[in-house]
Structures are given as C-alpha cells and as structure tokens.
Chain A
Amino acid sequence: MIRWSAIAASLLAASTLFVGCTSSSAPTASGAAPAGGAAPAAGQKVRIGVSIPSATHGWTAGVNWWAEQTKALYPDAEITIVTSDSPSKQVSDIEAMLAKGVDGMVILATESAAITPVAKTAKERGVYVVSVDRGFTEPVADIFLEGDNIGFGRVAAEFMSKKLNGNGKVIALQGLPSTVNTDRLNGFKEAIKGTPGIQIVAEPEGGWNRDQAYKAVQTLLPKHADLAAVWAADDDMALGVEQALKEANRTNVWIVGGGGMKDVVKKVMDKDAMFPATVTYSPNMIASGIHMAVSALRDGNIEKKRGYLPRHMRISVDLVTPENAQQFYFADSIY
C-alpha cells in the first residue's frame, strides 16, 4: 500500500510539474498528497478531477474552454481536466483519476447509464461528486446540476408559435441521434403540437455541425417555397442554416437555434432579422459545477456544508431576445 501511494503521489507531482510547464499562471507543486478520500487536511490543496467529453463540436469545445477558465480562476485548488471521446474511455479516465487520488469529481457524462457505476465507486471512496448537465441513473451525486434539454426545445417552440401568430411552415433541424437530440426534438415537437396551425414540414439531420446543416437545408429549400422559419437543435447548425438561406435569397425565413454561442447571441443583440431570438444552454454550466465542488471542499467542514447545499438544481433555459442579450454575451469565450 505504501508503495502504491508513493507512486500515486509522484505521478501527481509529475503532472503538477507538467501543468507548471505549460500554463503561464501555474501554481507551485504542493509536495506529496494522500491518495483517495474527501476533505483534505488543512493547508493542503483541494484536488478536483474534471471529466468532460472531448471537443467534437462547438458546444463541447465551449465546455473545454470554460473548464480551463475555471481552473485558472482557482490557483489554490489542484484541478485536473481530462477529456474523453466515448463513454468507455470516460470510465477508464475517471478510474485513473480515482487511482491518482482526488477529493472531488466534476463529471459531465457522455452517457448517463454508462458512467453511473464508476460515479458510484467514486462516491463509495468518499469522493465528493458533482454531476453536470446529464444525471446518473442512480442518485449518487452530491450535487446534480441539470441541463434542461426538453426545455431547450420547448422554449424555442413557444417563442416561434407566438412570433408566427400560430400559423406557418417550419423545419426542425436535429443533431445526431442521441439522448440529447431526442429530448430537444421531442420538447420542440410537443410544444408545437399545442399550435395546430404550425406545420413541421421536415426534420432533417444536421449532425450538430455547420456543414451538414447547411447542406440539408440547402437541399430542402427549393421544395418548401413557403417556409416561414427554421428551428435548429444547436447554434453551430443555426449558422449553417443562415448561410443556406442567404445564398438562396430567402432571408425572410428566420431561425431559432440555441446553446449560447456568442456569435448567435451577438446577432440577436444586434437585432438581426434572421435571428429574432435564441435560447441558452450555456457550456459555462461546467464552470458552475467546478465552482461548487471547490467551494464545498476547500477549508474542510464538508459535512456541515452539505446542509447548506441543494442536491439537485436545474439550469433554466432562458429565451434570449434583443432586450436581454447583453447578459448572455461573453465576448472572449471561444463558443
């Protein structure tokens, strides 16, 4: 056991040194740290592991960026960020971090069910677990900061029904088949059902990316000469839609996307007629999660603090309009 913890400690020291070499505002190495278990002893740095999906599209790139920003914000905590491109990779990455020793874990799960067992293991070892965006299938998280994908579709649909005065043809542009996509699309469709005058004429796939969205809408435009608006399940895709509409001289058609991409928020703020509104689903939720883990764990007293913190919070999906866009605009974010 002694040897294992020695290895873990030296790995940790090495990784801290590595971080020290690559980032300019680096904390100094803190010496050996005990492996496993929450609540670090006084004077020691809080060790937080952050496990997030790899940057495969704009939104996840945003999650990565916010995680790095938060790390820089807390130089007194030892924050390790690891990105994984699949659920199985995420499980092994979290296992590796547990082996190395962390006091808290902030997890944005690639898939809920697949990550639950390893989150449970973490919990059993006394690690403080914060789950962001997608929950686990069992209540293992100390704090669950939930993103609302159904609301993402619903809020957009409500706005569109109103702006269309209850009548018109729309395209619902979806992402890749996945839980997130299904929730958003169903949320949208359910809410649209309440307005029978609005017809969803097509539900093409935009693959969460600009190019595919551009091509899908480009193909559909000649077919639907009386199209009124397009809903896109993500802002990356909304930009592709904009380009297809502009090229076809169909700028009377407007778009509602969502996700909090700064360019789209800017367009809303500047009263761009093609972007009357958007909805939030900001990747900065990872920053909130890390912040909670750090503040819960630093200077001990975790048991007492538990009583001060909620177990479950849902992040509201806000409608962004020209009037309130300023507060959702982060000029130096990459997303």
Chain B
Amino acid sequence: MKFLKQYGVIVAFFLLFIVSAIMDPGNFLRPENLLLLVRQNVDIGLIAVGMTIVIVAGGIDLSVGALMTLAAAVGLTALNQQGPAGGAAAVAIASVVTVGLGTVLGLINGLLVTLGRLAPFVATLCGLVAFRSLALVIGQAGEIRSMSPDLFPRIANEGINLGGNLKLTWGMMIFIGMAVIAHILLERTALGRGWVAVGSNEKASHYAALPVAKLKTLSYLFLGLCSGLAGLIYASRLNSVSTNNMGTLYELDAIAAVVIGGASLAGGKGKVINTVFGVLILALIGNMLVLQNVDSNWKGFVKGAIILLAAMVQRERKAS
C-alpha cells in the first residue's frame, strides 16, 4: 500500500502501457515507437523536471514556454550573426547563449517572487506574455532559421546509434542527465531538504534560519536552466525557432506531468522520478491517440479523462 501511494504513477504508467500494447501490439511495441515516446518529449520532460523543483519549493512558473522561446530566439540570432561559415564555434555560442539566457530569465523570475514579493502566479504570468512578446519582436512574429544546416540540428537529432533506425539522441541524454541531477539534488542534498522545508512551511523555515529567499530563487534558476536546455533542443530539432507558436501551452503540460506524478501544488511534496513517469504517461497518451486515429475533436476529452484517472489512482487518503 505504501508503495502504491508513493509510486502509484509508475503503476499507472505500466497499466496504460499494457493496455496500449494489447490494443495495437504491431505498431505500439516497435522499438522505434517506444524510443519516440521519449525523444518527442525531451523538451516537455526537461521543463517538467525543473517544474517539480519549483513546485516542491512552494512556487509555480507559468512563463516556461515563452521563456524557452525567447532564449532560443536570441540563441539562434547569435548563431546567425556568426555567418554561414560559423561552424562549431557558432553552435557553441548559440548553445551557451540559449541556456545562459534561460537561466538568467529563471533568476529574474525568482527575484521577482522573492525580492519583489510577488505571488509566483502573477510574476510568471507577466513573464508568459512579456517573454513571448520579446520573442515576437526578435522574429517579426515569424520564424527564425538557423544558418547552420548540418551542425546545429545534430544536438537533437544525432546521438549514439543503437543499431538499425534506433538512436539515443544527445537531447535524450541531456534530459536523462538533468533528471538524475534533479533527483540527487532533491533527495540527497541540503539544498533539496531546504526546498522541501520551504515548500512545506515557509514561516517555520524562516524561523529555523533557513535562507528562504535564496532557496526559492535557486528553484526558479534551476527551472530556467532546464527551460533553456529545452529551448536549445527544440530549436535544434527543427533547426529554427517559430516565435509565434513554439512552446505554447508547455507550461500546462509540464504542470500536468508534475501533478500526475503526485506532487502537491501546495508545495513540500514531489519526486522527480514520478514526474518523469508523468511525462511518459502524457507521451503515451499522445502516441496512442495518433496511432489509433482518434478523431481530433475528441482527443482533449480522452486525454483529460486519462489524466484524471492517473491522478485518482494516487490521491491522498482522506485523513480519518
């Protein structure tokens, strides 16, 4: 029972997995398809991992989708400024600019919440609209294309060959790496214990002489870093940034994954591994809806119902 309560999402994932496998074994169980589940969701996954930390520390961040777009738009502009012959140096500059700007924007979110004493919902809602708007200005509301036709797309599309059509892409490795780092930070370090304490009871943490503002700011900074990485991988995947629709509603998918993973939106509770399975559940639903050719008007309903079920499997027992 205790296992089910802590890791219910993993059970839910395997149940869904079995159902999918029975419904369409020929297509669903192809190794290629299973790898796609992760590969197509690396960006949402990275954001969800960072979002777990912010939510555990008692915050929320609605700006992530716009943030990754702005970071990637500036990054690609930097890449293109090196000219068509920029080569590896240009790609390195673009990567550093994208991830660095993501981190800085995360820091700004954190400072608005702590020093600015704004509710996280409000501070990051402003980011949601303002970051997007800046990206639109940079891209004239259209698409920014990279001038690196071969090298830049490799970040998301190349990797270690596993034989045949199968590839473990660099993007997938970055996602897995960041998930492991986030897991260790949250479960094994003083920083992680600080985040849990602040999220559970901010006042008590303050009286216990914990650096509350610093801890909260760091949680947003970490999410900014994750979002910057997500922006880099997205931009590399399509070798372009579409400033008007990149990352729209990513904040909701990321928050949904965290909630499916059983974290409490009130803060203080959540596990990175469970969030990863939350992402996989969303990925699996999306995959099955496409493979089964579900009428696109019904998709949202099916998705909503399955998320609801997953959340119900592992909700808290009512205190008796």
A: residues with CB less than 8 A from B are 55-58, 60-62, 64-65, 174, 177, 202-205, 207-211, 214-216, 218-220, 222-223, 236, 240, 243, 247-248, 334-335
Q: State the majority secondary structure of interface residues on B.
A: helix
What A residues does B309 contact at CB under 8 A?
A: none
Check A204 against B293 for contact (C-beta < 8 Å): yes
The answer for the CA separation of A215 and B157 in the assembled complex, in Å, is 13
What B residues does A55 contact at CB under 8 A?
A: 136, 141-142, 244
Check B136 against A219 for contact (C-beta < 8 Å): no
Q: How large is the interface on B (under 10, 10 to 19, 20 to 34, 35 or more residues)?
A: 20 to 34
30 A–B contact pairs at CB < 8 A? A55-B136, A55-B244, A56-B244, A57-B242, A57-B244, A58-B142, A58-B242, A58-B244, A174-B296, A177-B296, A177-B297, A203-B293, A203-B296, A204-B293, A204-B296, A209-B242, A210-B242, A211-B234, A211-B238, A211-B246, A215-B40, A218-B36, A219-B36, A219-B291, A220-B290, A223-B27, A240-B238, A243-B238, A334-B142, A335-B142
What A residues does B82 contact at CB under 8 A?
A: none
Q: Is B189 an interface residue (CB 8 A)?
A: no
Q: A59 CB to closest chain B CB, in angstroms?
A: 10
Q: Is B253 an interface residue (CB 8 A)?
A: no
Q: Is B117 an interface residue (CB 8 A)?
A: no
Using an 8 Å CB-CB cutoff, how does the interface string of B87-100 with A read, 1 for contact, 0 for none? 00000000000000
Check A334 against B140 for contact (C-beta < 8 Å): yes
Check A218 against B40 for contact (C-beta < 8 Å): yes
Q: B47 CB to closest chain A CB, in angstroms?
A: 14
Given contacts A204-B290, A219-B290, A219-B291, contact A61 B140 (CB under 8 A): yes
Given contacts A222-B30, A223-B26, A236-B242, 8 further A-B contacts (CB under 8 A): A58-B142, A177-B297, A204-B293, A205-B296, A210-B242, A218-B36, A243-B238, A248-B165
What B residues does A247 contact at CB under 8 A?
A: 157
Q: Is B316 an interface residue (CB 8 A)?
A: no
Q: A282 CB to closest chain B CB, in angstroms?
A: 15
Q: Is B6 an interface residue (CB 8 A)?
A: no
Within 8 A of A (CB), among B1-50: 26-27, 30, 32-33, 36, 40
The answer for the CA separation of A3 and B26 in the assembled complex, in Å, is 74
Q: Is B200 an interface residue (CB 8 A)?
A: no
The answer for the CA separation of A164 and B136 in the assembled complex, in Å, is 40
What B residues does A205 contact at CB under 8 A?
A: 296, 299
Q: B127 CB to closest chain A CB, in angstroms?
A: 18
What A residues does B36 contact at CB under 8 A?
A: 218-219
Q: Is B287 an interface residue (CB 8 A)?
A: yes
What A residues does B27 contact at CB under 8 A?
A: 222-223
The answer for the CA separation of A29 and B36 in the assembled complex, in Å, is 58
Check A61 against B142 for contact (C-beta < 8 Å): yes
Q: A104 CB to closest chain B CB, in angstroms?
A: 25
What A residues does B30 contact at CB under 8 A?
A: 222
What A residues does B244 contact at CB under 8 A?
A: 55-58, 60-61
